[in-house]
């Protein structure tokens, strides 16, 4: 039987073990690609349903654009193609012949979508123009890690067009704050910072990139979602223009934003422990598992199990009546799958008209009268959702550091967690910081207070443009 490495001993192995033992996904024979197994895919389905619902509530409509992009399209936005070209998969043959123009398997769809926008958008009445697609994308990955970095991954990519730069900025921030932050915190129980990326770290082709970043248990930061203000960079390249109220033809201002299967990596690394996966109740495909404590099949106990399951129909419940595994083996299996709550029913419980409830995160056990189970399950799941968030937040806050000298910075970065420091924001300076410490800036916090006075870059000593400290960290 597969065992799980300890986080403290081999974090990277632990991550792989949690995924394997939780039966979430595996590396495919196709290098860099993953197979998402049914249990892992069920988590993705919950993510999709929730995020999709949040987007639709805000008027976003889904559409679908081609998998393939003509090579010439990508080249229309110079920074964009430069950023993506090392990662492209290229189709050179189709239907038995060599293609006249190679096709790129989409790494992201700005170019192919904005070509459509240029034909669809005519007037200010068409704005804002807001669509989203759920799709697979391909970015060639030399060092794949399941969910975190894979050559093919699944995501949503939203694309909008607006009449003004301000409206684009406002929309990019609305998606970040109202959808991504709320989803991460309220559903994934994963505390996130919001911020703006540096020039060196922003999306290839964006004017500004906003992000949510979360701290993983090994002290590294995971970029968990991005929302870009593209300004008119792409609309100029693809000639997306509209007739404004004043009778003038103008370029639209655009945004794009996405979250991906990477979120599942973040979910795993935020909550799981040395016993395996821990899932927040709101995203757990199975919220409650009921296990009969019997040697062989026992009709009385089985019918008690089924009757409790029936009472819990508003939750997603599994009853594990397999006759080839002992109760202990079943506990072990469901524990590794991160099921928030286990209910055990044995002969003694039956006598007492009770059952034992065992919570996955704390391991706390309690006996509960059968009549009270639905109420108690609801309370425990709600409490677990909150306390997973609180624990992750505490861990992050306790590891936060401020560094106002290079010496402090170098020391702090090694300890993990976010290190907040003044920074000039320049690409060349950031590249040197990375070379020396492996860390890059993660974001300029959106909600940090500005500090009066002049500040100088932690590394190069130049005067900084922003009166806030940037967050630095080692990152995935």
Which residues from 27-56 bind a second copy, rule CB under 8 A?
Answer: 28-30, 33-38, 41-42, 44-45
Name beta bridge partners: 242. Answer: 250
Choice between 125 and 435, CB closer to a second copy: 125
**262-271 and 373-399 helices, crossing angle to 10°:** 90
Using CB under 8 A as the binding criterion, the count of chain residues that bind a second copy stands at 54
* 135: contact with a second copy by CB under 8 A: yes
Which residues from 162-221 bind a second copy, rule CB under 8 A?
Answer: none
Which residues from 75-94 bind a second copy, rule CB under 8 A?
Answer: 85-94
* 453: contact with a second copy by CB under 8 A: no
Task: Choose which of 6, 61, 411, 463 interacts with a second copy (CB under 8 A).
Answer: 61
195 contacts 213 by C-beta, under 8 angstroms: yes
Minimum CB separation from a second copy for residue 207, in Å? 26
Task: Choose which of 74, 121, 131, 354 interacts with a second copy (CB under 8 A).
Answer: 131
Cβ partners under 8 Å of residue 291, min gap 6: 305, 319, 320, 327, 330, 331, 334, 342, 343, 344, 345
Contact segment (CB under 8 A) with a second copy among 62-70, 210-218, 313-321, 444-452 equals 62-70
Choice between 24 and 433, CB closer to a second copy: 24
Residue 440 φ then ψ, to 5°: -125, 165
* 116: contact with a second copy by CB under 8 A: yes
**Pairing state between β 288-292 and 341-345:** parallel
Minimum CB separation from a second copy for residue 250, in Å? 19
Q: From the CB of residue 290, how many other CB atoms can be counted at a distance below 10 Å?
A: 23
Minimum CB separation from a second copy for residue 54, in Å? 16
Minimum CB separation from a second copy for residue 25, in Å? 9
Task: Choose which of 154, 263, 339, 433 interacts with a second copy (CB under 8 A).
Answer: 154
Which residue bears the tokens 């926008």?
Answer: 117
Q: Which of 344, 331, 343, 346 is nearest to 301 (CA)?
A: 346
Six-digit token pair at 31?
Answer: 């290098």
Cα within 13 Å of Cα(64), Cβ side: 4
Q: Based on the number of CB atoms within 10 Å of its own CB, is 279 exposed (0-12), middle (13-18) or buried (19 or more)?
A: buried
Choice between 93 and 365, CB closer to a second copy: 93
Choice between 6 and 82, CB closer to a second copy: 82
Task: Choose which of 17, 77, 110, 115 interacts with a second copy (CB under 8 A).
Answer: 115
C-beta pairs of 402-409 under 8 Å, 24+ apart in sequence: 402/469, 403/458, 404/458, 405/458, 406/458, 406/459, 409/437, 409/458, 409/459, 409/472
Choice between 142 and 402, CB closer to a second copy: 142
Contact segment (CB under 8 A) with a second copy among 58-66, 171-179, 349-357, 382-390 equals 58-66
Cα within 13 Å of Cα(145), Cβ side: 18
* 382: contact with a second copy by CB under 8 A: no
Minimum CB separation from a second copy for residue 418, in Å? 31
Task: Choose which of 122, 142, 310, 394 interacts with a second copy (CB under 8 A).
Answer: 142
Residue 286 φ then ψ, to 5°: -120, 115
Six-digit token pair at 65?
Answer: 């654009």
Choice between 49 and 431, CB closer to a second copy: 49
Minimum CB separation from a second copy for residue 10, in Å? 24
Distance CA 350, CA 346 (A): 6
Q: Which of 91, 101, 84 is nearest to 140 (CA)?
A: 84
* 302: contact with a second copy by CB under 8 A: no
Choice between 1 and 29, CB closer to a second copy: 29
Q: Which residues bind a second copy (CB under 8 A)?
A: 28-30, 33-38, 41-42, 44-45, 61-70, 73, 85-96, 102-103, 105, 112, 115-116, 125, 131, 135-136, 138, 140-142, 151-152, 154, 324
């Amino acid at each position: 039987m597969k065992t799980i490495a300890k986080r403290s001993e081999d974090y990277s192995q632990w991550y792989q073990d949690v995924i394997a033992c939780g039966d979430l996904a595996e590396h495919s024979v196709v290098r860099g690609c993953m197979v998402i197994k049914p249990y892992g895919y069920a988590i993705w389905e919950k993510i999709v349903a929730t995020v999709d619902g949040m987007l639709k509530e805000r008027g976003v409509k889904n559409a679908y654009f081609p998998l393939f992009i003509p090579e010439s399209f990508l080249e229309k936005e110079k920074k964009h193609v430069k950023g993506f070209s090392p990662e492209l998969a290229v189709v050179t043959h189709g239907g038995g012949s060599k293609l006249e123009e190679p096709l790129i398997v989409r790494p992201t769809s700005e170019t192919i979508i904005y070509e459509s926008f240029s034909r669809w958008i005519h007037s200010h009445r068409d704005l804002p123009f807001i669509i989203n697609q759920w799709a697979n994308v391909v970015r060639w990955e030399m060092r794949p890690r399941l969910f975190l970095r894979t050559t093919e991954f699944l995501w949503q990519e939203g694309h909008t067009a607006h009449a003004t730069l301000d409206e684009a900025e406002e929309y990019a921030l609305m998606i970040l704050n109202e959808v991504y932050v709320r989803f991460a915190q309220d559903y994934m129980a994963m505390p996130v910072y919001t911020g703006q990326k540096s020039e060196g770290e922003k999306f290839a082709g964006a004017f500004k990139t906003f992000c949510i970043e979360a701290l993983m248990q090994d002290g590294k930061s995971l970029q968990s979602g991005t929302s870009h203000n593209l300004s008119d960079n792409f609309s100029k390249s693809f000639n997306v223009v509209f007739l404004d109220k004043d009778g003038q033809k103008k370029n639209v201002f655009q945004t794009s934003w996405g979250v991906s299967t990477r979120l599942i990596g973040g979910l795993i690394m935020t909550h799981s422990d040395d016993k395996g996966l821990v899932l927040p109740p709101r995203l757990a495909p199975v919220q409650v598992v009921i296990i009969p404590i019997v040697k062989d099949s026992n009709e009385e106990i089985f019918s008690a199990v089924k009757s409790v399951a029936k009472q819990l129909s508003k939750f997603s419940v599994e009853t594990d009546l397999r006759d080839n595994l002992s109760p202990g083996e079943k506990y072990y299996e469901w524990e590794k799958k991160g099921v928030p709550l286990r209910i055990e029913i044995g002969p003694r419980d039956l006598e007492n008209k009770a059952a034992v409830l065992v919570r996955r995160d704390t391991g706390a056990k309690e006996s509960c009268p059968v009549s009270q189970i639905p109420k108690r399950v609801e309370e425990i799941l709600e409490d677990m959702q909150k306390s997973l968030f609180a624990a992750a937040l505490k861990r992050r806050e306790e590891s936060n550091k401020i560094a106002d000298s290079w010496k402090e910075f170098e020391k702090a970065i090694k300890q993990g967690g976010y290190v907040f420091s003044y920074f000039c924001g320049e690409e060349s300076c950031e590249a040197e910081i990375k070379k020396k410490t492996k860390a890059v800036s993660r974001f300029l916090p959106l909600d940090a207070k500005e500090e009066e006075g002049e500040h100088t870059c932690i590394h190069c000593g130049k005067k900084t443009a922003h009166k806030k400290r940037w967050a630095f960290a080692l990152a995935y």
